[in-house]
A and B are shown apart, each in its own frame.
Chain A
Amino acid sequence: MGKRIIRRIKDIVFLIILGFFISGCATSGLQPLHGDSVSKGNKLTLIEQAENEEAILEESGFIYNNHELEAYLNDVVKRLYAHTLQTQTIPRVKVIKDPHLNAFVFPNGMIYIHTGILSRLDNEAQLAIILAHEMIHYMHRHSFKAFGGYERHQVGQKSQGRLKDLLNRLGATLSMAAMAGYSQALETQADVEGMALVATAGYDPREAIRLFGHLKREVKTEHFKEPLFFGIHPRIDKRIDNCENFILSHPVTDNKGLLNQDIFLEKTREVILVNAFLDLKAGRFQSARRCAVKYLDFNKNDARVYYLMGEIFKLKGGAVANNKMIGFYEKAIALDPIYPEPYRAIGLLHYKDEKWGLAKKAFESYLAVSPHNQDRAYILEYLEKCQTEGV
């Protein structure tokens, strides 16, 4: 009994130490490729845990299912991977519906990239920079290094089963660790070697500076405090330094390298709009607007983006005249008369202004184009009131 309690206390102490380790304390130098400090049994445990968490994510409703986009992202990974000497399983990529600026990799090579960061990128070179960074984490088995500390903590004990117990108790620790990033030394290694990989694969590594620069501006203006791909380990300024140092020490020739902007924007266009709606729901109105404007640049005839603009102004509040919002909603209706949401939005604005006739007309149109929507009961109630008050 006493031993069990001591063991649990040791686990908790280890968790605290692991937390510090993962969240930024420096490690002792870079280890050679494939070198790691976790036993074979615990590697299998980590891989098994990664596969479990991958299965959970797959069923979670968070995955953005777009096969064409996924195929494109995986092609970029293959292009990068072809320039390595690796014999490990080739990493795979999936997209998560999440407006936060993040990307992470599991120990089994599964890379997840958030719609948030994907929608901020300008071209394939910038995408390659992010993917290469995650690939380096995977290829150098950084997760094994991080969790290797557990074995050292368990010297003299049967650690294999214990790591499994620990991971089970922690639940999502593996993904949380991967999302939060690794120590500063490991992140720097991923930056520098990732840039080298990008350059070797023919992309322009200088895009990293542009990418980090505008992400930095966004982080600043939006006061983001969430774990970010670029924001935590090390801080974004250090990441920019890493890239600048790399570029200084690897001057590019006249051939600036690939950007592949057109194909990138074609493949990721829908993500920009999807993420703008996610930003809107999350109350990140400036980000939502920025994504909407970016989307409008190459798709001026999509009703959804005008509805989105109206919603941004509406939810943001402030002194925006209803006419401006209604203008966006009407533009959406003009482009797509069977798109229901703008009718409801117009109805709600008039309803609150007690313009019962106009509200009634809009709500009736909404029900006409979308008779079975889940909010039908609300609309019927509004119509009843419009009828009563409008007499």
Chain B
Amino acid sequence: MKKCLWFLLLITTACTPGMQGSGSDGRQSVNYSIALPDQWVEVTSSRHFLMTKDGVFSQYILIQQRHVEEPFKHTKRTFNRQMLPQEAAQVVLDEIASDRSVMNFKVIENKPVQLNRYDGFRVVFTYKTSKGSEFKTTYYGFLKGDWFYSVRYNVSDRYDTRDGYEDFEVVLDSFRIKGA
């Protein structure tokens, strides 16, 4: 029962800081593909793609596709098609910082990267929940046309191992936009 409640909380708010699953307005058509690393299981794919190896409170990888005009939950801001990766990263960071369930939010790294062939950003940040659990998130994002894509790896400080990052890199390398 308790785990169910926690999981519901995770999906709806707390542990996916700053981001809502997209597609609820019917505009969404998932148009990316990724590979599932060995021993990882898909938790849900109805609104976003969430996978974990040892449970979502240990670590998870979340892939989201969001329409540029869809406002964020906490800031009500949107992307625009002309944004540079740095500006898109700021929209994401402002959203996470505005989420009251995300405490002690600290940005460790924020830099431009290419995710496959797409110009985007990579931000690394840490945060705590109100229960004192500590997490570290490595977040990649980029804008392409009408869509913003993000791939993130979220890990509890108690499970922060090299293996998880290697699996995350497998997912990143496999990320493709269909038809692109």
Contacts and interface: CB of A to CB of B under 8 A. Distances in A.
Given A171-B130, A378-B85, A59 B103 contact: yes
A384 to B, nearest CB: 11
B75 A283 contact: yes
Interface in B26-85: 71-72, 74-77, 80, 82, 84-85
Contacts of A53: 130
A316 to B, nearest CB: 10
10 contacts: A61-B103, A61-B105, A62-B100, A283-B71, A283-B76, A352-B82, A374-B107, A378-B85, A378-B112, A381-B112
B75 A282 contact: yes
A162 B82 CA distance: 54
A377 B80 CA distance: 22
Contacts of A59: 103-104, 128
A38 B134 CA distance: 35
A28 interface: no
Given A171-B131, A281-B75, A282-B98, A374 B110 contact: yes
Contacts of B15: none
Given A171-B131, A282-B75, A282-B76, A377 B2 contact: no
Interface string B81-118: 01011110000001001101001110101111000000
B180 interface: no
Contacts of A61: 103-105
A89 interface: no
A281 to B, nearest CB: 4
Contacts of B1: 8
Contacts of A326: none
B104 A172 contact: no
Contacts of A62: 100, 103
Given A281-B75, A317-B80, A352-B84, A172 B110 contact: no
Contacts of B2: 169
A262 interface: no
A348 B87 CA distance: 10
A283 B97 CA distance: 13
A285 B77 CA distance: 10
Interface string B109-150: 111100000000000000010111000000000000000000
Contacts of B87: 348
B94 A282 contact: yes
A317 B132 CA distance: 39
Nearest to A352: B82
A56 interface: yes
**How many B residues are at the interface, by size bracket?**
20 to 34
Nearest to B82: A352
B85 to A, nearest CB: 7
Interface of B: 1-2, 5, 71-72, 74-77, 80, 82, 84-87, 94, 97-98, 100, 103-105, 107, 109-112, 128, 130-132
Contacts of A317: 80
A282 B104 contact: no
Contacts of B77: 282-283, 315
A281 B98 contact: yes
Interface string A84-100: 00000000000000100
Interface string A215-255: 00000000000000000000000000000000000000000
Contacts of B105: 61
B120 to A, nearest CB: 12
A283 B132 CA distance: 29
* Most chain A beta carbons < 10 A, residue from B5, B107, B111, B131: B111
A53 B100 CA distance: 13
A366 to B, nearest CB: 12
A266 interface: no
Contacts of B82: 352
A56 B84 CA distance: 36
Given A281-B75, A375-B110, A348 B84 contact: yes
Contact of A281 (B97, B112, B128): B97
A378 B72 CA distance: 24
Given A56-B103, A377-B110, A377-B112, 17 more contacts: A59-B128, A61-B104, A61-B105, A169-B2, A171-B130, A172-B130, A281-B98, A282-B74, A282-B77, A282-B94, A283-B71, A315-B77, A374-B110, A378-B84, A378-B85, A378-B86, A378-B112
Contacts of A283: 71-72, 75-77
A388 interface: no
Contacts of B5: 169
Contacts of A56: 103, 130, 132
